[in-house]
Homo-oligomer: A and B are copies of this chain.
Amino acid sequence: MKFTIAKLPGDGIGPEVVAQAVKVLEAIGKKYGHEFDFTFGITGAHAIDEVGEPYPESTHQICMDADAVLFGAIGDPKYDNDPKAKVRPEQGLLAMRKKLGLYANIRPINTFPSLIHKSPLRPDLVEGADFVVIRELTGGIYFGEPRGRSENGEKAYDTCVYTKEEVTRITKLGFEYARLRNKRMTVVDKANVLATSRLWRETVQGMVADYPDVEVDYMFVDNAAMQIIQWPKKFDVMLTENMFGDILSDEASVITGSLGLLPSASVGIHTSVFEPIHGSYPQAAGKDIANPIGTVLSAALLLELGLKLPAEAKAVRDAVDASLAADAVTEDIATDKAKAFKTSAVGDWLAEY
Contact = CB atoms under 8 A, between A and B. Distances in A.
A196 B254 contact: no
B199 A156 contact: yes
A155 interface: yes
A180 interface: no
Interface string A163-197: 11100000000000000000000000010111110
A88 interface: yes
Interface string A228-271: 01100000000000011011101101110001000000000000
Contacts of A156: 161-162, 195-196, 198-199
B243 A190 contact: yes
Interface residues of A, number: 53
Nearest to A150: B163
Q: A156, A164, A222: which has the most chain B beta carbons within 10 Å? A: A156
A61 interface: no
A14 B198 CA distance: 28
Contacts of A246: 190, 221-222
Interface stretch (A47-55, A63-71, A119-127, A284-292): A119-127
Contacts of A190: 243, 246
Given A141-B194, A155-B164, A159-B159, 8 more contacts: A120-B122, A122-B122, A142-B193, A149-B199, A156-B199, A157-B160, A157-B196, A222-B247
